[in-house]
Structure 1
Amino acid sequence: MTPTDRLLQLAPDAKTLESGRRLFYSRRWRLLGGDGEWLWGEFDVNSKRPIQSAVQVVEGKFHCSCRARARPCAHDLALILILKNNADRFTVGQPPDWLRSVQFQTTKAPRVTKDVTKADDRLTARLVLMDSGIDELELRLLDVARRGLADTLAQGDDSWLTTAARLTDAKLPGLAGRVRQLASLDTDGTTSELARGLGDLYLFLRAWRIRDELTPERQDELYQLAGITTKKDELLRRPVTSDHWLVVGTVNGQEDRLRYRRVWLRGEQSRRYALILDFAFGEFPFEQSWPLSASFEGGLHYYPGNYPQRAVFPEPRPGGRPYDGLSGYDTFTGMLDNYRRALGVNPWLQQYPVYLNGVRPVKGGEQFLIVDADGLSFPLPSDYPDFYRLLAVSGGGPLALFAEFDGYRLRPLSLLTELGLVPA
C-alpha cells in the first residue's frame, strides 16, 4: 500500500472522502506546494482569506482552517488525491508563513479528549442522517418538477406534511418548517409563491452538496437553516455589537406545544436590526421580557453568517433615555433595492425587517394592501387580523410602521403614533 493510500484510509467517513474527491477536481486551488515532507495549498472561497490546508505525508498530520471538526477534512484529502493522481500540480519550495506557525493535530495518534471525540462522532452521525434526508427531499422536488405545479397542488397538503415529518426525523427541523409552509401555500398562496418556495429548497439542496467548497460564513448560514445551531458559549466569543437598542416589533407563534417569539431590535448608532428568537414549552414563560418601544443598552452577539440577523443579548440593561435612531423608507423602491442586495448576500432570508414612512392601508377588492406615495402596493397576509384597526388609526392618511417583508407580503408589527410605538 502506498503512503497516499494509507493517508486516504484515515478519512473519518465515506462522505468526507467523497467530498475530498469533488474538491480534487476543483479549479479553486492555488499556491499548491510541497517540500518533501509537507504538502500545502490554499482553496479560494471568494472571501478575503482562503482556506489554508496542509498535510504532513510521513507522520500523517493534518491542518485546515475550514470549520470541519474531523481531521483529515475534505480539503486535506483533496491534497492527498492531488499528490496521488496529479503530483505535477505541486511546486517544490519553502512552506508559506502560515504553515510555519500552525500547531498541527495528529490524527494518527489523536490528542483529544474522549468528550471531544464523542462530540465529533455525534456530529458525523448527524450529518450522515441529514444527508439521507436531503436525498429524499431531492427525490420529492424532482417528482414535483416532473408532475408540474398544478398536479402538485391537486395532491393537497398531506404529502408535504409527510415530507416535513421525514425531514424532522432526519434532524433537519429548519427544512421541515419550510416544507410545512409549502403545505399552507397549497390553499393560501399563489403559484408564484409555491414556485419560489420550491426554488429556495432546491437552492439549499445544491448548496448542501458542495458545502465543503463554501466560505465558513456561508456554511454557517446553511447549517443554521438546516437546524444545526451555534452553541451559546461559541456565540459569546464572537464580536460584540454595543448600542442603544429599541424593541420595534414582536411576533408570537406556536407549533404543537412549543411556543416561539421573534423580537426585532433596532440599533440607534449602528442602524442595524437584530432578531432575538426565543422558545418556551407549554405554559412556561419566556426567559426575558421585551416590551414594545422599550429600549436597552448593551452588547449583543450576532450568529455567524454573511448577512447576520439573529443574535443573542446576554445582559440587556434598561435604556433610560430617549431613542433617536428610527428612520425608514419613503417608498417601496428603496426597500426593494436593499432587499435584493440582502438576498444576494443570503438567499435564504425568511423575514426582512423594514420601517416605512408615509404609507397607507387600502382595501383593494378582496385584498388588504399597503400603498406608498408612488402608488406601489404590497398585500397583507390573509391571516392578518387588524386591518380595520390599522385603517382607523391612519384615518385614511399616511402613517409610519414597522413590518416584516417576505418578498410578497408585508406583516405590520408596530405603528408610530403620538404615544410612540404601538402594536399594529
Structure 2
Amino acid sequence: MKSVLDKRIETMLQGANELQLWVLDAIRQGFGHLQSQPNATWDSIAARMTDSKLAVISRRIRVLRDRRHEAQWPELFFNELADFYLFAQAFRRIESLPEPLQEELLLQGGRTIRRNDLLDQQPAQHDRWLALGQTSGMEEDLRWRRTWFLAERLQKFALVLDFAFRDTPYTQEWLLGSVIDADFHFFPGVYPLRAVVGEFALSGESFLPFDGFLNARSMANAYTKALSENPFLQIFPVVLSGFSIILQQEQFYALDAERHYLTLSKQEEKNWKLLACSAGHPIDLFAEWDGSRLNPLAMIDDQQIIKL
C-alpha cells in the first residue's frame, strides 16, 4: 500500500481529528443539544468531512441529520457517535496497524477504488452465486441498492453495492433468486464482504441446499467472531433456519426453538407481511444484522427466494 504519509492520508487524518472533537463536544453538550441543532450546523461538519476526503463519514453525518427526529434517535446517536469515535481513534494510529486494517480504515473513510483497478488487482473468486437478498433507498439525489449473493462452494457472502443518480437506471439488474456462474472481486480489507462482479453468466442449474443459523446463540457467536476481525463491520448477513415471527407489545421479533429472540427493525409493512406469510410456523429467512436489530430481506421456502 502507498505510504500512509502521503497527502491524502494527512488530509484524512486532519478530518479524523476534527471528527473526534465533534463527537466529544456532542457528548459534553448532550445528545438533546445535538438533536436541536439546525441543518446548517450539521451540513457544516459534513462539508468539512468531505473536504478532508472522508466522504463516507460525511454521508453518515447527513443521514444522522435526517433521522434525528425519529423515535429511536437516542440509540441511533449513541451507536453512530461511538462508531465515529472508534474510527477517529483508529485512524490516528493508522501507521501502526496491519495493512489489511489500514485498507479497511481507508475504505470506511471514503477511499474509492475504480472498478477496473479492482478487477486487475484483486484475485477472482469463482463460484456459482445465488442472489439472496436486496434492499434499496435514496439519499438526496442518489439512489443506492444493496444486493447480497451467497457462494455455493465457498459458502461466503458478497455484497454488490450499486448507485444511480435520480432516475438513471442501474448498470446491471440482479434478479432475486437467480444463480450466476461468476467471478467476484472483493475490496481489500479485513473480513471482506463488498465485491464487484467480473465475468458472469446465468446458470440454469439449481442451487445446492444451504443451512442457516438454527438459533440466536450461534448467530451471535458468528457475529462476535466477525466483529473481532473487523470492528468497523456495520452489516452482518445471516440466514436463519426455523425461526418464528411474533408480535409482542407493538414490537416484532424472530424467535428460535430455544425461545431466544432477535428484534426486528421498525419496518411495519415488511414485518406484517413476514408475520402473515409465516402464519405462526417456523420459517427460514435471509436478513441483515446491525448488532441490535434484524432487517429481513427475503423468506426462503424450499430454496425459493421470496422478496419481502
TM-score greater than 0.5 by the shorter chain:
yes
The offset of 1:385, in angstroms, is 2.5
State the shift of 1:338 in Å.
Answer: 0.7
User: Which of 184, 190, 202 matches 1:300?
Assistant: 184
Q: Quick check: 1:339–1:352 contact (8 Å CA) kept in 2?
A: yes
> Partners of 1:266 and 1:419 in 2: how far apart?
12
Aligned letter for 1:416?
I
Mapping 1:337-376, distance limit 5 Å: 337-376=221-260
Question: Could you tell me whether the CA contact under 8 Å between 2:135 and 2:297 is conserved in 1?
Answer: yes
User: How far, CA to CA, are the matches of 1:229 and 1:309 in structure 2?
Assistant: 16
State how far apart, in whole Å, the 2-side matches of 1:185 and 1:409 are: 18
State percent identity of aligned pairs: 35
Q: 2:227 aligns to what SS in structure 1?
A: helix
C-alpha separation in 2, matches of 1:219 and 1:280: 29
- Cα displacement (A) at 1:131: 3.2
SS at 1:314's partner residue? strand
In structure 2, give the amino acid aligned to 1:241: Q
Deviation at 1:369, TM superposition (A): 1.9
TM-score by length of 2: 0.91
Select 2:19's aligned residue among 134, 137, 151. Answer: 137
Equivalent residue, structure 1, for 2:94: 211
SS at match of 1:422: strand
Q: Is contact 1:354–1:405 with CA below 8 Å preserved after alignment?
A: yes
Structure 1 position 156, deviation (Å) = 7.4
* Partner residue in 2 for 1:220: 103
Instruction: Give structure 1 regions of 4+ aligned residues with deviation exceeding 3 angstroms.
Output: 126-129, 148-162, 180-183, 190-193
Q: Which has the higher contact order (CA 8 A, sep 6+)?
A: 2
Q: Mark the structure with the bigger radius of gyration.
A: 1
**C-alpha distance 178-257 of structure 1, shift in aligned 2 (>3 A):** closer
Q: Distance in 2 between matches of 1:405 and 1:384?
A: 17
Shift of 1:372: 1.7
Output the CA distance in 2 between the equivalents of 1:354 and 1:164: 32
Residue number among 20, 44, 60 corresponding to 1:178 in the alignment: 60
* CA distance 1:325–1:313, change in 2 (3 Å): farther
**1:84-233 counterparts in 2 under 5 A?**
124=7, 126-153=8-35, 155=37, 159-183=41-65, 184=67, 187-189=70-72, 191-233=74-116
Is 1:329 aligned with 2:213? yes
Which residue of structure 1 aligns with residue 131 of structure 2? 247
Structure 1 contact 269–325 (Cα < 8 Å) conserved? no
Match of 1:202, SS state, is: helix
Q: How big is the alpha-carbon RMSD for the aligned residues of Structure 1 and Structure 2?
A: 2.2
2:144 counterpart (255, 260, 268): 260
Structure 2 unpaired stretches of 5+? none
Q: How far apart, in 1, do the equivalents of 2:61 and 2:71 lie?
A: 14
Kept in 2: contact 1:172–1:226 (CA 8 A)? yes
The residue aligned with 1:57 is none
